[in-house]
Amino acid sequence: MQVNNAGVSNRGSCVDTPMRVQRQLMEVNYFGHIAITRALLNSIPDDGAIITISSIQGKVAMPYRSAYSVCSADWVNQQNVGLYNKLISGQ
């Protein structure tokens, strides 16, 4: 079993948050999960599972947390699309 539950956050408005911070949040909170999942995917047994824990901020944004909310929403949406694709392909 693999559990995806890692992330960093930042407090600040979208305008005041530098692009390097926005990119760092995406790198850790979005691409980090993808990199770890891809690296470990072949070692998860057929009856294994990937569990993704995300933040409610992916669905309901909070003031001054826009960068974090975007990362959470992207990750949750990718997991939902992946599950949907898996279900319709019959895999």
Please list the active-site residues: 68
DSSP 28-90: IIIIHHHHHHHHHGGGS-TT--EEE---GGGTS--TT-HHHHHHHHHHHHHHHHHHHHHHHHT
Q: What separation in angstroms does the CA of 8 have from each of 16, 36, 86?
A: 17, 16, 29
